[in-house]
């Protein structure tokens, strides 16, 4: 006879999505878009580029999901050039100043880190 465990609540069905504030939250509805936490890129769930990365492994550990595009943009993610070429082109023309503040800060930080610095120069 199977024994039923009491005292533990049943698991809540749902999906973990990333909000505009970059905090995860539970949703009864799956996300419409997927993203990569480290590269801060979002795209369609059937994106060929994301599927290749998932097949190679390692990508899944940093995968996040968004309810919609405004949530992804507000969280500081940029559109994927492969599966969202129109949104990506629009993102490029807006420039860093019009992007989400966190995204603009990251772009400035990356640009300054890439610039050659002279060490020990006086």
Q: 78-79 and 41-44: which strand pairing? A: parallel
Residue whose structure tokens are 């800060």? 105
Q: How confident is the model at residue 101 (pLDDT cuts 50, 70, 90)?
A: low
- Per the domain annotation, does 3 fall within a domain? no
What is the CA angle 113-119-122, rounded to 5? 130
Which are the contacts of 98, defined by CB distance < 8 A and separation ≥ 6? none
Within a domain: 7: no
pLDDT at 122 over 50: no
Q: What is the pLDDT of residue 58?
A: 73
pLDDT at 108: 66
Residue 39 has pLDDT above 50, yes or no: yes
Q: Is residue 48 included in any domain, yes or no?
A: yes
Structural domain for 110, as ranges: 15-114
Instruction: Indicate whether 120 belongs to any domain.
Output: no
Phi/psi at 26 (5° precision)? -90, 140
Q: How high is the pLDDT of residue 94?
A: 86
- Indicate whether 10 pLDDT > 90: no
Whether residue 19 is contained in a domain is answered as yes
**Domain presence at residue 38:** yes
pLDDT of residue 59: 83
How many independent structural domains does the chain possess?
1
User: Per the domain annotation, does 100 fall within a domain?
Assistant: yes
Q: Which pLDDT band holds residue 12 (cuts at 50, 70, 90)?
A: low
User: Is 105 among the domain residues?
Assistant: yes
């Amino acid at each position: 006879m199977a024994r039923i465990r009491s005292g533990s609540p049943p698991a809540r069905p749902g999906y973990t999505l990333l909000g505009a504030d970059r905090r995860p939250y539970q949703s009864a509805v799956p996300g419409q878009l997927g993203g990569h936490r480290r590269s801060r890129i979002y795209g369609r769930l059937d994106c060929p580029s994301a599927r290749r990365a998932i097949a190679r492994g390692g990508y899944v550990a940093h995968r996040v999901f968004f309810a919609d595009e405004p949530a992804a943009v507000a969280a500081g993610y940029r559109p994927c050039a492969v599966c969202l070429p129109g949104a990506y082109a629009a993102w490029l023309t807006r420039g860093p100043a019009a992007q989400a503040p966190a995204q603009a800060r990251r772009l400035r930080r990356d640009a300054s880190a890439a610039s050659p610095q002279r060490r020990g120069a006086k």
